[in-house]
A and B are shown apart, each in its own frame.
Chain A
């Protein structure tokens, strides 16, 4: 297997090395260089769009900033390309940071609009600041030179290809590391990522800055490839083109960006040749006809799914015959391609090919992470954080949580003794989940304070609280669905990494040591919750009960002093509940304090040391399970009416 891979890589290197001689046409070599440059940008765009799941419309602007940074440094200060291009990485990353710090407080359509605004501002400023950028006239620079040797197109090709390969390698390393897992996790479930100590905001900004840096790198290389840059190159259309290339090639892959870049660079050439375009239209028409025939033969009587392909193919055929030249309709065709990809090819071409291959081999084969068998004995053991011996581990004082006029929690006190299992019960709407959210920092209480392990935590962010040793599970599961069970737990173990971006990119011994240790620990945690058989299965494919256990496993990854379980038994079968009780008991034996919210009374009453009862946002009872069970107030709250009389 390894030999095949090495041979494959060797073949690619040889192909890339002889490509310029083989093509032997300056224009086409120039196009290939452009593909490599776009691909570098798309690697970056993929980090934002594919991994963190946000739409960025700023990348043409960032690309322009990179291009102009290199251009100005070369044109005004005479910096050679090997200094100017690296500088544009940092300049653009700084601009990206400037945008990301305010903008990433919002998501989705808001962020798309904000990034669009940024791209527009960048274009306007480049156009207007003519003292720096030479305005609409643009900048013309000389061919790059290396120690007096002028680099022609076929020489510059090698520079770009080497940068491209290095960028591919580094991006791959970043996305395979704990940083990449953090990016993927915050897309899968932002709130869970925060509660695992992975600050969503911080990692989004980080992802955006890396992405901007790559856009700057691509921009710098673009300047020395084109030798002339003007403001209107970096417009909205280019941004849309980048997005099309990425989603068409395939998100979350390295090959997808390369393929997508090749398509958007080469497609205009195809459109210039009307004969070729007509030929393509015929092929598509035949394809649609085959699809229709297959649909009819297979006996389906629904004609609705046929309407759009047939109308589309007919329109394409008609326009191919009607129009004498396609160049003016380039953007329209890009627009229709986007619609096509969004509705029919969501995973992109590479994703589609993978799905086809995936029919013949299990999906996780490529993702299986090597694990050292030695991890059996060393479970997560004791909490990481030194727990103070005396007093309560967690103390909530006079918590008031108000939503408008509604007091979801009204002056509630809660003290949790170290090493105990503390049950928290109450009818629906009594404020249990609100309490959970206040304790973990998702809500900031209107009044009152929470003291955890000797320090006040109310007001801290969820990720900061998580890192102090408080972990939780969620009532409605918040797993990172597209990640494997092992990767889910590894996100919980994110706090064990000290490695930074440089460690990851250089694959230093420190990073490799930490990664190996984390995997061993994750494997032992999965063994502990009984999921070792599902290690490399994607979380969304696990049965429901197993997903609940995986949530507990992921929370244990944090190595918490306190674990909050929000209805862990909901929806479980009775044998599964038995296993769950056993696991909770064992967790306590490892020195972890547990708060348990649960509706199954047998579970709560069976294992809790202390039980608190909430009703309408107030604590109505607290004590040993037996005492609480016979408290008339509790019975009244649950059954209503005159139980006490």
Chain B
């Protein structure tokens, strides 16, 4: 019984990470109908920059973990702006779907290669800011860092939701999401809103990066599969549903920890990807998404 509880707990912590990354996919998809195929690399860069500030990789540590977080968030936002400016804006202008898919992929592999050249190809441990002794909750051993992941993820999504609902800038984001052309005609600078959504998207990925890094290892290739599985979560939850990504993330996280335990850790990435194929085959709009009607 307690082994199952254990798997559930770790699954939830892992799932919240996916939810945060998937949340980033949603934010850009809502405003511009585009996705960053290099989302996993944004996460990796966040973790790497965090490690450089907080660890001794590049002559550090410069500050502690908690002061590092705002710096990483800032870096993530800037990285998102760069992606939007180089890869997405020209493609939106020329209405080329192929264009933004290819150029965000291109930027993704560039970021990964640059990271390999700066930080090397090996995985590195990330110093944990919290004690590493597990605490007992409901028969299961939970790392304090895992609790921090759940709290941090929820907090971040809550803040963004509040921003969207309460502030006038948030209204601009919501308006752009529901109808970009109409919002533009009402005097909203939709280009700026899209840039903002990319900043937010990469920022949440970078945040996810520094949250997950102390639990796993940090390395240039850490992002690729995470980004892909988070997309699976975004699809399972529906690209338009905020609650969906949390449910989808936890679902996938648990599926993964149980597969890893009962089958083999080598196969742990498989259920998420198979789930992605199945959901798209059966209900492409996701479990919580709305179906749209095509107009002829």
Contacts and interface: CB of A to CB of B under 8 A. Distances in A.
Given A113-B37, A331-B113, 15 more contacts: A105-B280, A110-B235, A120-B225, A124-B266, A124-B267, A128-B264, A330-B113, A331-B109, A332-B110, A332-B114, A334-B109, A339-B107, A342-B102, A343-B103, A403-B293
29 contacts: A99-B277, A102-B277, A102-B278, A106-B280, A110-B235, A110-B284, A112-B101, A113-B35, A113-B235, A114-B276, A114-B280, A116-B228, A117-B232, A118-B277, A120-B273, A121-B270, A121-B273, A124-B269, A236-B224, A328-B113, A332-B113, A332-B117, A335-B107, A336-B110, A338-B105, A339-B107, A342-B103, A475-B296, A478-B296
A429 interface: no
Interface string B242-258: 00000000000000000
Prevailing SS type, chain B contact patch: helix
A41 interface: no
A73 interface: no
B144 interface: no
Q: Which of B99, B106, B107, B116 has the most CB of A within 10 A?
A: B106
For the complex of A and B, 9 pairs with smallest distance between CB atoms: A102-B281, A335-B110, A338-B106, A331-B113, A117-B273, A335-B106, A128-B266, A332-B113, A335-B109
A433 interface: yes
A102 B280 contact: yes
A120 B277 contact: no
Contacts of B98: 53, 55, 342
A419 B273 CA distance: 54
Interface of B: 34-35, 37, 86-87, 90-91, 96-99, 101-103, 105-107, 109-110, 112-114, 116-117, 224-225, 228, 231-232, 235, 264, 266-267, 269-270, 273-274, 276-278, 280-281, 284, 293-294, 296
Contact of B106 (A112, A329, A342, A474): A342
Interface of A: 53, 55, 57, 99, 101-103, 105-106, 108-110, 112-114, 116-118, 120-121, 124-125, 127-128, 191, 236-237, 240, 243, 247, 328-332, 334-336, 338-339, 342-343, 403, 433, 436-437, 442, 474-475, 478
Contacts of A110: 235, 280, 284
Nearest to A243: B102
A110 B105 CA distance: 14
Contact of B296 (A101, A125, A442): A442
A551 to B, nearest CB: 13
B101 A343 contact: no
A123 to B, nearest CB: 10
A53 B96 CA distance: 11
B102 to A, nearest CB: 5
B296 A339 contact: no
B106 A339 contact: yes
A338 B86 CA distance: 12
Nearest to A101: B281
